[in-house]
Amino acid sequence: AQSVSQHNHHVILSEAASLELGCNYSYGGTVNLFWYVQYPGQHLQLLLKYFSGDPLVKGIKGFEAEFIKSKFSFNLRKPSVQWSDTAEYFCAVQLGGSYIPTFGRGTSLIVHP
Amino acid sequence: EAGVAQSPRYKIIEKRQSVAFWCNPISGHATLYWYQQILGQGPKLLIQFQNNGVVDDSQLPKDRFSAERLKGVDSTLKIQPAKLEDSAVYLCASSIQLGQNSPLHFGNGTRLTVT
């Protein structure tokens, strides 16, 4: 069965620090990749997605992620975080031919002002 | 556009009682999902509907959980009887269609506490 690993469960940063959250999956075929974010008290919402083409995808609020097929990874990055980026971040993988995204356990990000 | 609506937001019940959650997806979204999110874990799919038909319910504990989407619009998830380990947030999500390129839109969830 496919699995999605987010190795950083809790990350604490100061404003203006750079962010990289790891996401690895265990499947060698075609995948669609997503990052979702859940701000405090709000619902899960899509941050960015990769289906095909340029492996560097840009999302909302200055976030980007890079798909590295050889490493089975889809890490999320932001050059300079803000206090408002405090949230839970979930990586999700959808196998080629499947309609169901599988989620990682999430990373809690706290940004200190 | 209006988002995915879920009710109630919170529910506290005793073990062995029954409970039901309601979800109204975004208008026009054919696909509806119910996820269970236990504290400290990512969302886990329980059941997926396409219109009023079940696409995948392989991870639904059918001895106690049931779900329906009779008219292909809103949906109800029921637990009967509840166990302590059912304490979780139950998330409903919808997407435009059943397909690879349809991101999910989530509701705020129902937080269930079983005592």
How many residues in chain A?
113
Average pLDDT over residues A82-87: 97
CB neighbours of A99 closer than 8 A, spacing ≥ 6? B31, B48, B55, B56, B98, B99, B100
Predicted confidence at residue A7, as pLDDT, reads 86
Query: What three-state secondary structure class fits A103?
Result: strand
Predicted confidence at residue B100, as pLDDT, reads 62
Average pLDDT over residues A16-31: 92
Nearest to A90 among B33, B42, B99 (CB): B42
DSSP H or E stretch at residue A45: strand A45-50
Q: How far apart are the first and last CA of chain A?
A: 41
The answer on pLDDT for A103 being more than 80 is yes
Predicted confidence at residue A1, as pLDDT, reads 63
Q: Do B42 and A101 count as a contact with CB atoms less than 8 A apart?
A: no
Residue in this structure with the two tokens 């109204």, named with its chain if needed: B24
pLDDT digits (tens, 9 = 90+) for B43-59: 999 999 999 899 999 99
Q: Classify the C-alpha dihedral B27-B29-B30-B34 as positive or negative.
A: negative
Predicted confidence at residue B69, as pLDDT, reads 95
CB within 8 Å of chain A, chain B residues 96-115: 98-101, 103-109
Average pLDDT over residues A67-94: 95
CA A102, distance to chain mean position in Å, is: 13
CB within 8 Å of chain B, chain A residues 58-87: none
Angstrom distance (rounded) from CA A24 to CA A7: 8
Predicted confidence at residue B50, as pLDDT, reads 92
Predicted confidence at residue A13, as pLDDT, reads 97
Search chain B and give the residue with CA nearest A6. Answer: B42
Report DSSP state, residue B85: G
- Ranges of residues in chain B with a pLDDT under 50 are none
Predicted confidence at residue A19, as pLDDT, reads 97
Predicted confidence at residue B99, as pLDDT, reads 67
Angstrom distance (rounded) from CA B15 to CA A65: 43
Answer whether A101's CB lies under 8 Å from A3's CB: no
